[in-house]
Structures are given as structure tokens and as C-alpha cells.
Amino acid sequence: MPTTVPSADPFSAAPPQLRAALARQGFTSLTAVQRAVLDAESAGRDLRISSQTGSGKTVALGLLLAPSLVTEGAARTAARRPAGPAALLIAPTRELAVQVGAELRWLYADLSGVAVAVVTGGTDPVRERSTLERGPAFVVGTPGRLLDHIRRGALDVSGVAHVVLDEADQMLDMGFREDLDAIVDHLPAERRAHLVSATFPPAVRALAGRFQPNALHVEGTRLGAANEDIAHVAHLVRPTDRYATLVNLLLRSLGQRTLVFVRRRVDATEVAERLTEDGFSAAAFSGELSQVQRTRTLHAFRNGTLQALISTDVAARGIDIPGISSVVHLDLPTDGATYTHRSGRTGRAGQKGLSVLLVPTTEHRRVEQLFARAPFELSWQPPPTAAEVRKAHTKRTRRRLHGLLDASADPQREESGGDVVEATTPGSGDPPLDKHREYAKRLLEERDATEVVAALLALSEPPLPRDPIAIEAVRASGPRERDRRPPRHRGDDGRRRSHQKPRGAPRKGKRFDKKTHASRSQRP
């Protein structure tokens, strides 16, 4: 959230035509990365923008490009050149492209003649084609479809003045390499190229040189700075208890949105199906789904119809869904960067968030290595027990009761809560307690007050979708029984002298690297 700065015009650094849009969107000041991008030094340079997720990088970019979009657009209209876009933004997933496009649209709402088009796979190419024919100044898209339009002549990128790679570290990764090169081959040589990413590990920086021989590095929030709103918790569980732990976690946070990450598409589908059978409101999200399904599912998660979304890493980056109270890593992330991106889906816009790692005992050591240099504290805790889950449920019911009582005492007061999934709060209409008041008086005359309240509490506690599951706690550093090797020799005190060989050497480039993330000792 932008912090308020007492100033005549908090947006004085922004292009004048965009200030009204910023105010309409509820901005009260520019974020660090936005101010940094608008700094005079940035003029005319290729930028390498690194900043924490959710820090307003897209808007920063929009602010940067707006003036030249207006100028280029006008120049090309005057010259009667074919109306290809002046700016191109390439994103690694379809949903991200859509989201970025939407953000640029509200930002450019007052810029007449500057339209934003989004082109992605999974949608009707003919409709996109006709959108492109209208000559949008800014085109946002995913690599495959962009290239498709370019090759078919539907998209003329010869007039592109700015090309932007969003989530640049991933875009420069192997999988996107070919398409990206092919697109860039069509761009004019004199274009400016901007890379946007949370992190720029050495491997990415090496590749980045091909796009930006002489880039200016712009840092919004300090590289690797931790989001203080996110708590990081690890539960050590037996591999067979992972699903049970997930069930307990979901029961504990019933009524709140949880994003669950798994490794493979098939896992997403299977876990979602199993959760649904267990009475949860859950769905899978992965590249296995049709685009229609993907959009529909994400919408259902956004509007609160779904409590849990079980996703592959397709949703790990950039996706902004308000109100995700926790992220669960059912499968461990492959590396530090993936962990950071996944976790960044919670704790957004100043809200508190929880990131929970389910660590199979077999992976204990690897996880400790992975997080040894993380810029935050990973808190190892026993998984939630069945008793804790039930207690949380009772507490939740009592909180709703207090909400009702407070609302009844003071109707002006906003209902507290934050429960987004279940219809836990009565709809606005008649004051909810009115029709019960007469009977309540009679009941209290006839019965013992404590008994009446206790009975009502019992009645008001909704049934859980399913019973919480007993999970056996695992000792934090104990090797599994079958991993234990016979002691080689014992000392006089009978204790083992030799320890087993560390399993698995640290993997190169997989950890929270000093180059990509600040280490803990560098924390302010």
C-alpha cells in the first residue's frame, strides 16, 4: 500500500494525463518503484526493474511508457504509417497478461487514442485479429500467440518503441527462449527493452545482456526485502500425512481463501477431486484446463465461491487475488524464487498472510538448506492437531456471535469478519435479531440462562465439511526409522559418535542466493 505523503500533488512526478486515473484507483502516492522509474535518469534508457511483488511494477511501467505512447501514436497517425503498437509487453502466463492489460487500461483511461489490447493463447484468434486491426498503441500478450499474430501478419511490430518482458527471469528461461527470440527478431533495432522481475539471478543477468546491452538497474523495494506481512511456517510431516495436514489446515481456516501449490498438473486435479469428495469447496487450476475453465475457476476463487484453489506454478507469479489468507505448499517449491513468488500471492495490499510449507520428513534437510539464507524467519511448528482444528472452529463460531451482538448494539458499525467464502453473515435486510427477540425473552423467563446460551452455541456451530484428521507429530530432527543406520561404534557413554552422512549435497543455484535475495544478516 502506498504511504501517504503530505504534499500538494502526490502524483507530481507522474505524467499529468494519468494523475486523475491514479486518484480514481485509490492511490494516495507513488510507490518506491514508481518514483524510481520516473526519475530523470530513466529517460531514454533501457530499464531493468526489480522490486517486490505487489509493489506496483506494472503501474510503474505504465507511467514510464505513457509519454512516448502519446508521441509515437501521434507521429504515426500524422505519417499515415500502418498502426502497429508502439509498446509490446510479454508475460509468461495468460492470466498475467490479462491482469496486466486490465491494469494498463484503467491507467490509460484518459489517454485518448491509446488503446490496450491483450492477446493470449486459448482464446479466439479471429476476434483478437479484429482488435489488433483497430490499431492499439499497447499490446500485451503471451509469447506463442503474439508470435502467431506476427507471422500471420495480423500484428505489425515494426514500429515498437518499447518491448517489456514481465517476470523476466522466467521469460528468459529455457522454455520461452525460442518464441522470445523469434518475436524479438521482428522488432526494430532501435527499440528500448525493459525487464521487470522480482529477482535477477546471475544466470538471468547474463541472458539479459542480449536484450539490453546497457541497462539502467532500477530498484524499488530493496532486492530480496521480505514482505513483513507474511508469516512463514513449516510443518514437518510424514509423507503419507501431507493430505491429512492439508485437510486440517483448510478446516482451521474455513471461510478463508487458501491457495494450494502442487508440483504437477495431475496432482492439482487429484487433490482438488479428493478435497471435493471430502466436502470442501475446492477446484484445480493448471494448464491442463481449457482456457474457459481456467478463467471460470479463477473467477470463482476471486469472488469467494471456492475456498481452496489447488494450482500448479502457473498461478505462482503475479496473479493478484485479494483476500488469500494463506498459501500452502503441499508440494515443495523447486527453488527459492518459486517459493517467494508462490508466497507472494498472500499478504497483499497490507493484509496479513500465512505461507505454510508441508515438509515430508524425507525432505527435512533439503528444506533447511533451501531456507538457510532466506530473508525471513521460517518457523517450524507441529502440524495442526484435530483438537486445535475443533477449537479454531468453535472460536470462529463465537466470533460470529460477537459480530452479530456488536452489529445489533450498533447498527452503523461495519460487520467485522473477513469470512469470504461461507455465507456466515446474514444478508442486509431486516435487522437479523428482531424476529427472535420476543421468543428470546420468553425463553429466558422459562429456562436457565446459561443452559439456553450453551444450547444455542451448540446449535449455531455449523458442521465441519469433514472430521479433522489425527496427525502423528514427527520429531523435528529425527531421521526416519528406516533411514537409521547401525551405529559404527559407541563411546564409553554409549552414545553414537559417528553421524550419518548428510543426504543430498546443496544444489547449485537452488537456494535463496545472496545474489537474488538478501541474506538474513543483511536485514535492517
In angstroms, what is the minimal distance from the CB of 24 to DNA? Answer: 30
174 binds DNA (CB under 7 A): yes
In angstroms, what is the minimal distance from the CB of 273 to DNA? Answer: 16
The rounded Cα 486 to chain-centroid distance in angstroms is 46
C-alpha cell at 234: 513449516
In angstroms, what is the minimal distance from the CB of 298 to DNA? Answer: 12
Beta bridge partners of 460: none
Q: Which of 276, 267, 278, 328 is nearest to 300 (CA)?
A: 276
418 binds DNA (CB under 7 A): no
Going by the DSSP 8-state scheme, the letter that residue 285 receives in this structure is E
265 binds DNA (CB under 7 A): yes
Q: Taking contact as CB under 7 A, which single stretch among the options 80-88, 145-153, 246-254, 372-380 is the one that binds DNA?
A: 145-153
**For residues 129 and 217, which CB has a smaller minimum distance to DNA in the complex?**
129
Going by the DSSP 8-state scheme, the letter that residue 299 receives in this structure is H
129 binds DNA (CB under 7 A): no
Helix, strand, or coil (residue 282) = strand
175 binds DNA (CB under 7 A): yes
Residues 280 to 299: which contact DNA by CB under 7 A?
286-288
List the one residue from 10, 54, 56, 143 that touches DNA (CB under 7 A).
143
Per-residue mark of binding to DNA, 317-346 (x: CB under 7 A): -----------------xx-----------
In angstroms, what is the minimal distance from the CB of 139 to DNA? Answer: 12
**For residues 431 and 506, which CB has a smaller minimum distance to DNA in the complex?**
506
In angstroms, what is the minimal distance from the CB of 262 to DNA? Answer: 8
- Taken in order 376, 382, 383, 386, the sign of the CA dihedral is negative
347 binds DNA (CB under 7 A): no
Question: Please, what is the angle between helix 174-186 and helix 143-151, to 10°?
Answer: 30
In angstroms, what is the minimal distance from the CB of 279 to DNA? Answer: 26
372 binds DNA (CB under 7 A): no
For residues 212 and 324, the answer to whether their CB atoms sit within 8 Å is no
Residues 56 to 95: which contact DNA by CB under 7 A?
92-95
Q: Which of 472, 471, 468 is nearest to 251 (CA)?
A: 468
Q: Taking contact as CB under 7 A, which single stretch among the options 60-68, 173-181, 211-219, 442-450 is the one that binds DNA?
A: 173-181
In angstroms, what is the minimal distance from the CB of 227 to DNA? Answer: 23
C-alpha–C-alpha distance, residues 144 and 92, integer Å: 10
Q: Which of 427, 456, 428 is nearest to 440 (CA)?
A: 456
**For residues 173 and 229, which CB has a smaller minimum distance to DNA in the complex?**
173
Q: Taking contact as CB under 7 A, which single stretch among the options 46-54, 57-65, 118-126, 409-417 is the one that binds DNA?
A: 118-126
**For residues 141 and 403, which CB has a smaller minimum distance to DNA in the complex?**
141
| Length in residues, the chain | 524
In angstroms, what is the minimal distance from the CB of 95 to DNA? Answer: 7
Q: Taking contact as CB under 7 A, which single stretch among the options 75-83, 140-148, 407-415, 452-460 is the one that binds DNA?
A: 140-148
**For residues 34 and 120, which CB has a smaller minimum distance to DNA in the complex?**
120
List the one residue from 146, 184, 215, 474 that touches DNA (CB under 7 A).
146
Q: Taking contact as CB under 7 A, which single stretch among the options 262-270, 348-356, 399-407, 431-439 is the one that binds DNA?
A: 262-270
List the one residue from 57, 145, 364, 393 that touches DNA (CB under 7 A).
145
Cα–Cα distances in angstroms (integers) from residue 118 to residues 70, 91, 175, 332, 346, in the given order: 19, 11, 21, 33, 26
Cα–Cα distances in angstroms (integers) from residue 73 to residues 65, 110, 435, in the given order: 12, 15, 63
List the one residue from 72, 167, 179, 241 that touches DNA (CB under 7 A).
179
In angstroms, what is the minimal distance from the CB of 110 to DNA? Answer: 30
| CA atoms lying within 13 Å on the CB side of residue 112 | 0
In angstroms, what is the minimal distance from the CB of 193 to DNA? Answer: 20
List the one residue from 120, 227, 325, 516 that touches DNA (CB under 7 A).
120
- The residues, ordered by sequence, that sit 6+ positions from 357 with a Cβ below 8 Å of its Cβ are 232, 233, 234, 235, 329, 332, 367, 378
C-alpha–C-alpha distance, residues 524 and 522, integer Å: 6
**For residues 119 and 471, which CB has a smaller minimum distance to DNA in the complex?**
119
**For residues 93 and 212, which CB has a smaller minimum distance to DNA in the complex?**
93
Q: Taking contact as CB under 7 A, which single stretch among the options 10-18, 117-125, 242-250, 407-415 is the one that binds DNA?
A: 117-125
C-alpha–C-alpha distance, residues 404 and 422, integer Å: 16
Give the largest Cα separation in the chain, rounded: 93
Q: Taking contact as CB under 7 A, which single stretch among the options 137-145, 237-245, 249-257, 457-465 is the one that binds DNA?
A: 137-145
Going by the DSSP 8-state scheme, the letter that residue 154 receives in this structure is S
144 binds DNA (CB under 7 A): yes
C-alpha–C-alpha distance, residues 141 and 483, integer Å: 49
In angstroms, what is the minimal distance from the CB of 294 to DNA? Answer: 8
Which contacts qualify for 22-30: CB closer than 8 Å, 24 or more apart? 22/59, 22/107, 24/106, 24/109, 25/106, 25/107, 27/2, 28/2, 28/3, 28/4, 29/2, 29/3, 29/4, 29/5, 30/2, 30/56, 30/63
Which spans of this chain sit near DNA (rule: CB under 7 A)?
A: 92-95, 120-123, 125, 141-148, 173-176, 179, 263-267, 286-288, 312-314, 334-335
